[in-house]
Amino acid sequence: MKGIVFHVNSNNRVLRLPELKKRGSDIKRLISRYGVQAVFAALFMLGLIVGAASSKSFDKSVFDKLDLLFVTNLEARLGMSVADIFIACFVSYFLFILVAFLASLSAWGFAAIPVLAAIKGFTVGVSTAFIFSMYKISGIGFYILVVLPGAVLFLFALIRYSASGFALSLRYFRLSVFGNDREPELAFHLKRFLKKTLFAFLSSGACAVLDMLLWILFAGKFDF
């Protein structure tokens, strides 16, 4: 059987129709698997840019009151014990996972979960810009060595977990609006999501431990 042959200019490579179909299938598979995560990452970057651009609009007192979300009051953090640092970091991570978890169990939560990624980006952008402008070189070094590693690892965990929660919330939405999700299948996806929730909370704890260790190693080397 003769196949359709496509000629391309690069290195005179010949692509047959079955190869094109396979590549198209691979691209669809990648989009299906990582598309939502890519969108969440893009929303995080958008929030990061907006947060960095709007950091000058916030007064320092606002940052001090919301220190769990905006890691900006470095003088206060230097006065905290190691255990308090761990608790503060864990709670800040825990809040995002908790909100994602609650939204995932709602039929309308899929609309809120993408906003969560943008909010996380916004808090990181505001904190980064404020620290860089307030504490100059010392602030930059402190943020890179102490704050950033745990924040980056948590970001990956949050995006993956949020993508799973987004898919589960969509299933609840289809069930409530169209009634086209079978109960056994929904129970299976819920059970798998709960396992991912446990892993997400453990990841939050691991990121907080990393923050604590970096704090022990480097925090004393900075003077603000």
Q: What confidence tens digit (pLDDT) does each residue in 31-44 have?
A: 666 778 899 999 99
Residue 161 forms part of a structural domain: yes
Looking at residue 98, its pLDDT comes to 94
Q: Mean pLDDT of all residues in the chain? A: 79
List the Cα angle 104/106/110 in 5-degree steps.
Answer: 60
What mean pLDDT is predicted for residues 190-207? 93
Residue 215 forms part of a structural domain: yes
* Structural domain count, the chain: 1
> Which residue from 146, 163, 153 is spatially nearest to 211, judged by alpha carbons?
146
Neighbours of 73 (CB within 10 A): 19
Domain that holds residue 207: 35-221
Comparison of pLDDT for 17 and 101, the residue scoring more: 101
User: Confidence class of residue 1 from pLDDT cuts 50, 70 and 90?
Assistant: very low
Most confident of 25-29, 63-67, 128-132: 128-132
Residue 16 forms part of a structural domain: no
Comparison of pLDDT for 215 and 98, the residue scoring more: 98
Residue 212 forms part of a structural domain: yes
What mean pLDDT is predicted for residues 188-192? 88
Looking at residue 8, its pLDDT comes to 47
Phi/psi of residue 179, each to 5°? 65, 35
pLDDT for residue 151 is more than 80 = yes
Residue 23 forms part of a structural domain: no
Its pTM stands at 0.77
Residue 106 forms part of a structural domain: yes
